Amino acid sequence: MTTSISSVDTRALADALMALHTESPLVQCLTNVVVAQWTANVLLAVGAAPAMVDNPHEAGEFASIASGVLVNLGTPFDDTVAAMRSAVHSAAANATPWVLDPVAAGGLRWRTDLAIELLESSSPAIVRGNASEILALAGGSGGKGVDSTEAPEAALKAAKSVANRYDTIVAVSGPVDHITDGDRTVLISNGHPWMTQVTGVGCALGALMAAFAAVSTDRLIAAATATAALTVAADRAAATSRGPGSFAVRLIDELAALTPPELSTSVRLT
Amino acid sequence: MTTSISSVDTRALADALMALHTESPLVQCLTNVVVAQWTANVLLAVGAAPAMVDNPHEAGEFASIASGVLVNLGTPFDDTVAAMRSAVHSAAANATPWVLDPVAAGGLRWRTDLAIELLESSSPAIVRGNASEILALAGGSGGKGVDSTEAPEAALKAAKSVANRYDTIVAVSGPVDHITDGDRTVLISNGHPWMTQVTGVGCALGALMAAFAAVSTDRLIAAATATAALTVAADRAAATSRGPGSFAVRLIDELAALTPPELSTSVRLT
Amino acid sequence: MTTSISSVDTRALADALMALHTESPLVQCLTNVVVAQWTANVLLAVGAAPAMVDNPHEAGEFASIASGVLVNLGTPFDDTVAAMRSAVHSAAANATPWVLDPVAAGGLRWRTDLAIELLESSSPAIVRGNASEILALAGGSGGKGVDSTEAPEAALKAAKSVANRYDTIVAVSGPVDHITDGDRTVLISNGHPWMTQVTGVGCALGALMAAFAAVSTDRLIAAATATAALTVAADRAAATSRGPGSFAVRLIDELAALTPPELSTSVRLT
């Protein structure tokens, strides 16, 4: 059953953004080297405090004091994988929400196995990926590299299956974002094609989900608010940009300017 | 013999850009951590699909499905060097074109030896560097760090020597870009000094060459089209920028907006 | 004793910027993966030549030819730590000034021990950090992650203690920057809150200090000029920006445009 979120729920998104502004959660990111700067700047724009602590000596220690943890498999190395295992273990021990972004799962065996291993070691608060990645986690084959070869709609059944199997929220990014806890599904249709022409927009969305999961007990709302904030800001940024370069710059500006009332007014739940 | 490219050839550049837009080749980048994000955004701007798969567990596997591979020696580590060897081996086995960017070759021994080792293990489609780096590959001494201390003109003989010895195309970046297969040489004089004030513009050019080599059987045309697209976009970006910060942003916008007819009209072959 | 810098000294800042433009020092950066690109672009904007040589095979060799060295502990790994030790040893042997940026010292044990070890192995020209980090080096407890939980004023005594103990300059970043050699203290009040909403502004400041230390024998002037150049450019950038995204872009433009006379006119020494 796909249910639209009610008007009460758009207020819930505004409340979550307000909470983020107030609490400024410390978000530990174990992410890829391509998007680390961009991810930090996106987190700073919404008022979160990013910390890229991703070495095996410190990742577990830091996860015990972080408010949320992002594990992104974009460019894994032995060192960072050891750090990820340590951070996930520590997050679980401290009941800290963590988010898994299984970049290119399905397309590459080593990281697909790693994604499954991490999923099975401890339930993440949220799993975020494109349709190909989510299909791969559900047992299907993956896509070509980091880009999805499937539409989010085609992955919804797989998303629900992953959500139920691992007791998590699954967010499938695409022209319409699909976010499900296995039962309830939220659809968000904001956003702009330039989001796919800037590297790391999806990766930054995973980081935003970790930030919102740190301030919201309802993980579905956390994932939906992160998606809504990013895509509403993208709508606004695209309106005053000339191409993907200026769009990326304006997206940061718009994220920083976005208020809770503007979020609830502009989000399109379909 | 230095021959200007004929009017037929400017159409060849336009055709190559058209092919890139149509085929959206998957370009695997084993590049340095400084420019990874920038490189991905430059590739996305022209319509290629970047994938930064640079760990030793997956680099060889991925090179077997990639359409083109970039190996850039900017910040090599033992892990990434192992991945580079694996990717080059796999690219050769699959007849996938790969591009070598020997950053700071000559200035540092370890990476100079590595560049020579990779060159000798398998012919790259294209070698791209500044004059000092190309002189170093030909057996001379290198420059100071990553910046060239020599003009491209002074390196043309060395470039032809490297092209002939390793059966490759050599592209020497500078105020006038020199691109040679050892026999034919193309000179391109577009571009702006701000290109040297933004880190990674040369590195991104290497990635573009891998993208064009994936869609063009004539490797000289591939290297020339990459150079022409980047420098024509740079001319346009500089015209509306106030400094190197805004120039970098506009360069992405202009690359994304550049059409094949505009490319053939604006390129200056001298 | 806190003494304001005299009018002679504002000319000294202008002279240092002039020297940087003239000499274009080669600055080796062993920094974190989050800010590497940004740091290189900041260095290029002021006319320095950045080189991110941070692998253990080459870091020591390169430090022997670099004009200044930055060691930033933002994302340390075993490989880069080995490179840092090698670079610091080589810098000391060659009387090359090096700058320590002890990111998140105090908040995490491994890197705090590393910061102390490096400090004790050889006197850096300058130590740059936020108040929490400097307090941690002086023996106090640290802050939360990478952000300071203390004001610079509260850290001045600790800064003087560190400066005296390790024969170095200590620069404490904050709304008012405090820079001390243990005796003289310079206060600079330029800057904008958006500097804290762009990741790596402080890290880039450390790199600028390495650049100015390479061209100025007075290390206090070097640290003050780096701070003045960055914060004066920030004032100007903020005036024409709409948020932290466009601010980061304009900051590069303004750094590139800043002239020595403008620097001495606009800096606010309090």
Q: What is the pLDDT of residues A236-263, one digit of tens each?
A: 999 999 999 999 999 999 999 999 999 9
Q: A170, A134 in Cβ contact below 8 A?
A: yes
Nearest by CB to residue B244, choosing from C45, C49, C248, is: C45
User: B3 or C268: whose pLDDT is higher?
Assistant: C268
pLDDT level of residue C146 (50, 70, 90 thresholds) = low
Has residue C262 got a pLDDT over 90? Answer: yes
Q: Which residues of C touch B34 (CB under 8 A)?
A: 36-37, 40, 52
pLDDT of C44 higher than 50 = yes
Candidates B91, B101, B26; CA nearest to B60 is B91
Between B32 and C142, the more confident residue is: B32
How many C-beta neighbours within 10 Å does residue B193 have?
A: 11
Tell me which chain B residues have a C-beta less than 8 angstroms from the C-beta of A146: 49-51
String of DSSP letters for B45-106 = HHT-EEE---STTTHHHHHTT-SEEEEE-SS--HHHHHHHHHHHHHHHHTT--EEEE-TTBT
pLDDT value at position C147? 63
Mean pLDDT, chain A, integer: 94
- The average pLDDT across C250-263 equals 98
Q: Residue C153 — very low, low, confident or very high, per pLDDT cuts 50/70/90?
A: confident
Closest residue in A to B66 (Cα) is: A145
A241: nearest CA in chain B? B253
Which one is predicted more confidently, C223 or B1? C223
Which subunits have 3 or more CB–CB pairs within 8 Å of chain B? A, C
Say what the pLDDT of residue A3 is: 52
Contact B108 C50 (CB under 8 A): no
pLDDT digits 0-9 by tens, A157-203? 999 999 999 999 999 999 999 999 999 999 999 999 999 999 999 99
Among the partner-chain residues A34, A199, A243, the one whose CB lies closest to the CB of B257 is A243
In this prediction, residue C237 carries a pLDDT of 98
- Across the range C235-251, mean pLDDT stands at 98
Check residue C1 and give its pLDDT: 44
- What local confidence, expressed as pLDDT, does residue B146 receive? 58
Please tell me which residue, B9 or B141, carries the higher pLDDT value.
Answer: B9
Is the pLDDT assigned to residue C3 strictly greater than 70? Answer: no
Q: How many helices (H) and strands (E) does chain A have?
A: 11, 8
The amino acid that residue A130 corresponds to is N
Mean pLDDT of C65-87: 98
Work out the mean pLDDT of chain B and round it to a whole number: 94
Is residue B7 predicted with pLDDT exceeding 50?
no
What is the Cα–Cα distance from A215 to A86, expressed in whole angstroms?
23
Cβ distance A40 to C34 less than 8 Å, yes or no, reads: yes
A141 band by pLDDT with thresholds 50, 70 and 90:
low
Structure tokens at A94: 């401290």
| Test mutation, B31, B32, B33, chain C, max C CBs within 10 A | B33
Our CA-based measurement puts residue A106 at a distance from the nearest CA of chain C, in whole angstroms, of: 27
Mean pLDDT of chain C: 94
CB neighbours of residue A189 within 10 Å: 13
pLDDT for res A1: 44
What is the DSSP track for C203-256?
HHHHHHHHHHHTT-S-HHHHHHHHHHHHHHHHHHHHHT-SSHHHHHHHHHHHHH
Instruction: Report the share of chain C in percent with pLDDT over 70.
Output: 93
Q: Which residue of B has its CA nearest to A200?
A: B37
Residues of C with CB under 8 A from a CB of A: 32-35, 37-38, 74-79, 104, 107-111, 144-147, 196-200, 241-246, 248-249
Instruction: Note the pLDDT of residue B1.
Output: 44
User: What digits encode the pLDDT tens for the residues A220-241?
Assistant: 999 999 999 999 999 999 999 9
**How many angstroms separate the CA of residue C252 from the nearest CA in chain B?**
5
B194: pLDDT strictly greater than 90:
yes
pLDDT at C223 over 80: yes
Please determine, for residue A4, whether its predicted confidence score (pLDDT) is greater than 70: no
Residue C81 backbone dihedrals phi, psi, to 5 degrees? -65, -40
Res C150: pLDDT: 76
CA gap B6, B9 in Å, rounded: 5
- CA-nearest residue to A237 within chain C is C245
Q: Residue A130: is its pLDDT beyond 50?
A: yes
Question: How confident is the model over B60-76, as pLDDT tens digits?
Answer: 999 999 999 999 999 99
Residue A191 structure tokens? 């956003």
Per-residue model confidence (pLDDT) at position A140: 63
More confident residue, B152 or B266: B266
Kindly identify which residue of chain A lies nearest to residue B241, measuring between CA atoms. A246
Confidence of residue B147 (pLDDT cuts 50, 70, 90): low
Mean pLDDT of C163-168: 98
Q: Which residues contact residue B117 at a Cβ distance below 8 angstroms, ignoring those fewer than 6 apart?
A: none
Give the model's pLDDT for residue C8: 45
Q: Does A86 score more than 50 pLDDT?
A: yes
Q: What's the Cα-to-Cα distance from C156 to each of A161, C98, C146, C175, rounded to whole Å? A: 57, 22, 19, 14
State the complex-level ipTM. 0.94
Q: Are A146 and B51 an interchain contact pair (Cβ–Cβ within 8 Å)? A: yes
How do residues C115-143 score in pLDDT, each as one tens digit? 999 999 999 999 999 999 999 999 865 55
pLDDT on residue A166: 97
A66 DSSP 8-state letter:
-
Tell me the per-residue pLDDT of B88-145, one tens digit each, with 9 for 90 and over.
Answer: 999 999 999 999 999 999 989 999 999 999 999 999 999 999 999 999 999 865 555 5
Task: With beta carbons under 8 A apart, name residues in chain A contacting B248.
Answer: 245
Residue C29 pairs in a beta bridge with: C70
A111: nearest CB among B52, B54, B58: B58
Chain B: which residues have CB within 8 Å of chain A?
26, 33, 36-37, 40-41, 44-45, 49-55, 57-58, 61-62, 65-66, 79, 248-254, 256-257
- pLDDT at position A153 is 82
pLDDT score recorded for residue A256: 98
Cβ pair C243:A254 closer than 8 A:
yes
CA proximity to A40, closest of C137, C42, C202:
C202
User: Does the pLDDT at position C205 exceed 70?
Assistant: yes
Residue B145: the pLDDT is: 54
The stretch B170-192 carries a mean pLDDT of 97
d(CA C218, CA A186): 61
Kindly report, residue by residue over A42-83, the tens digit of the pLDDT. Answer: 999 999 999 999 999 999 999 999 999 999 999 999 999 999
Tell me what percent of the residues of chain C surpass a pLDDT of 90: 90
